[in-house]
Amino acid sequence: MNIKKKSMKLIAVIICLLIIANGASCGSSQPGGETAAPPSVSPGSPAPSGTPQPPSPESPSPTPPSASPVSAPPETPPPPATPPTPAQKLVPYDGVVENLFFHEVIAYPELAFDGDSMQKGYDTNMVTVSEFNKMIESIYNNGYILVNMNDVWSEYTDENGVQKMKKNTLMLPEGKKPLILSFDDLSFYKYMSGDGFMSKLIVGADGEIWATGVDPNGNAVTSQDLTVVTIIDKFVKEHPDFSLNGVKGCIALTGYEGILGYRTQTDKNNDTAEFKLNRMQEIARVRPVIQKLKETGWYFASHSYGHINLETSTLEQVKADANRWLDEVGSLVGETKLFFYPFGTRLDGGDVYSTGPAFLFYYGLGFRIFASVGYESFSRIKPDIAAVVCDRMHADGTTLRQDRERYLKFYDAALVFDPMRPSEYGTSW
Ligand SMILES: [Zn+2]
């Protein structure tokens, strides 16, 4: 009886989802959207060897075990602590879905901005933890709600049996505007070590995601306040209406120095048993982290294996890189149809109005949504193939310093700008 009831319920839920997904008019892609100069992340040369030892992960600092309920049962049932919230009214949304990406946050600006050769790159591409907190708060206050990029478009078969892509009508709480958040390069690259970033994500004893690292005094730190993932986790917990169905963000990964702080990569120059064993251990350690992330609203994109420049790579290099990503990263994070261009450089030297061989190769691997970097949340459904090309806006030092106006819909650079940033690079405001 119960099973029957449950399956009826499940069917009802599925039908609801189908209705939401299909109530779509065809995608209203925006014209224009020139690609901005991509933020040049400097990931270093691909596929270096060795297995760096990130700071040893302490077990997470004690966290309150879920509070045990008070024992003595009251004589009369107490009124519910909070009045039941009325079912939220959902309304159809067919407008622009904003698309914003970050890199990992600078946990300790004094280490990132210490005048060394990396300082400029961090200033250009990253935001500090203080900036990130203010930006997220402001984005929330501006009425945005996080949606899953995979839900914005869907593939269908047209009347001629051709696979096409369409933009879905989103069903959002009244007054909310949809926002896709994504986070590139969450590998905790070796070059970032000692420069004020956390070292890896872990699953703590409490079952939650934490990050470990080292503070400026050399002390091991375990925190939920110093990486993008845990900051978003906490923010959504405190502001559930910032997320549609618990969605958090997309994590875009390369593979050449592993993922999420774990050195899961192969090394063509190191075939030793020791290297292989270490790699297997790292893979075993990262699996529960991936699992937990997926359970808590995070999803994944490819950012290429070697953070390669697609404009200067040959087709053979592009193919080899893509296959290696599938082998070493896709095998861990699961299937994805999302591909975010490193440096913002598009496949085949351009994919908005043409479809080249590299694009077709990626399409054959199952990728459908291809994102570059731009001045606005541009998107275009390709007419010839079931794919979408789009741009993500870049929340980083470049736009904080030089593009205040364009980002005012999200946050005001003048209000979030961290005074810890080097003063010599200036601002336009
Ligand atoms: Zn990148």
The angle subtended at Cα 303 by Cα 297 and Cα 308, nearest 5°, is: 170
Residue 49 has pLDDT above 70, yes or no: no
Q: Which residue has the tokens 């945005």?
A: 144
Neighbouring residues of 331: CB distance < 8 A, sequence distance ≥ 6? none
pLDDT for the residue 68? 36
CA of 15 to the centre of ligand 1 (A): 38
pLDDT for the residue 202? 98
CA of 245 to the centre of ligand 1 (A): 28
CA of 282 to the centre of ligand 1 (A): 22
pLDDT tens sequence across 376-396: 999 999 999 999 999 999 999
Residue 30 has pLDDT above 50, yes or no: no
Q: Which domain holds residue 234?
A: 95-425
Distance of CA 197 to the CA centre of its chain: 17
Residue 13 has pLDDT above 70, yes or no: no
CA of 313 to the centre of ligand 1 (A): 16
pLDDT for the residue 131? 98
DSSP characters for 219-261? -EEEESSSSHHHHHHHHHHH-GGGBSTT---EEEE--BTBBTT
Residue 404 has pLDDT above 70, yes or no: yes
Reported confidence tier of residue 59, pLDDT bands at 50, 70, 90 = very low
CA of 147 to the centre of ligand 1 (A): 22
Q: 164: which strand partners?
A: 156
Question: Cβ distance 188 to 261 under 8 Å?
Answer: yes
What is the pTM for the complete model shown? 0.81
Q: Which two tokens stand for residue 414?
A: 């003048």
Q: Which two tokens stand for residue 287?
A: 């699996």
pLDDT for the residue 200? 98
CA of 3 to the centre of ligand 1 (A): 47
pLDDT for the residue 252? 98
Domain total for the chain? 1
CA of 287 to the centre of ligand 1 (A): 22
pLDDT tens sequence across 153-211: 999 999 999 999 999 999 999 999 999 999 999 999 999 999 999 999 999 999 999 99
Q: 213: which strand partners?
A: 221
CA of 304 to the centre of ligand 1 (A): 9
Which runs of E-coded beta strand occur in 196-302? 200-203, 209-214, 220-223, 250-253, 299-302
CA of 414 to the centre of ligand 1 (A): 26
Residue 77 domain flag: no
Q: Which CATH number covers residue 99?
A: 3.20.20.370
CA of 36 to the centre of ligand 1 (A): 15
CA of 204 to the centre of ligand 1 (A): 27
CA of 307 to the centre of ligand 1 (A): 6
DSSP letter (8 states) at residue 305? S
Q: Which two tokens stand for residue 25?
A: 């008019």
At 218, is the secondary structure helix, strand, or coil?
coil
Question: Cβ distance 156 to 164 under 8 Å?
Answer: yes
pLDDT tens sequence across 332-371: 999 999 999 999 999 999 999 999 999 999 999 999 999 9
CA of 412 to the centre of ligand 1 (A): 24
Residue 65 has pLDDT above 60, yes or no: no
pLDDT tens sequence across 273-285: 999 999 999 999 9
Average per-residue pLDDT for the chain? 85
CA of 62 to the centre of ligand 1 (A): 34
Residue 326 domain flag: yes
Integer-rounded Cα radius of gyration of the chain? 22
Residue with the bigger pLDDT between 232 and 82: it is 232
Residue 42 has pLDDT above 50, yes or no: no
Residue 51 domain flag: no
Cα separation, 181 vs 232, in Å, equals 10
Which residue in 429, 373, 374, 377 sits closest to 405, CA to CA? 429
Lowest mean pLDDT among 8-22, 115-129, 196-210: 8-22
CA of 189 to the centre of ligand 1 (A): 11
CA of 185 to the centre of ligand 1 (A): 5
pLDDT for the residue 18? 37
Cα separation, 211 vs 201, in Å, equals 4
pLDDT for the residue 159? 93
Cα separation, 323 vs 365, in Å, equals 9
pLDDT for the residue 310? 96
CA of 357 to the centre of ligand 1 (A): 23
Mean pLDDT throughout 260-270? 97
CA of 236 to the centre of ligand 1 (A): 25
CA of 253 to the centre of ligand 1 (A): 8
Mean pLDDT throughout 392-420? 98
pLDDT for the residue 85? 54
Residue 291 domain flag: yes
Cα separation, 107 vs 163, in Å, equals 45
CA of 254 to the centre of ligand 1 (A): 8
Question: Cβ distance 213 to 300 under 8 Å?
Answer: no
pLDDT for the residue 88? 77
Residue 419 has pLDDT above 50, yes or no: yes
pLDDT for the residue 87? 67
CA of 41 to the centre of ligand 1 (A): 5
pLDDT for the residue 53? 32
Residue 87 domain flag: no
Of all helices (H) and strands (E), which one includes residue 13?
helix 2-22
The residue count for the chain: 429
pLDDT for the residue 86? 57
% pLDDT > 90, the chain: 79
CA of 153 to the centre of ligand 1 (A): 23
Residue 136 domain flag: yes
CA of 22 to the centre of ligand 1 (A): 33
CA of 105 to the centre of ligand 1 (A): 14
CA of 160 to the centre of ligand 1 (A): 39
Q: Cα–Cα distances in Å, from 16 out to 12, 20, 174?
A: 6, 6, 18
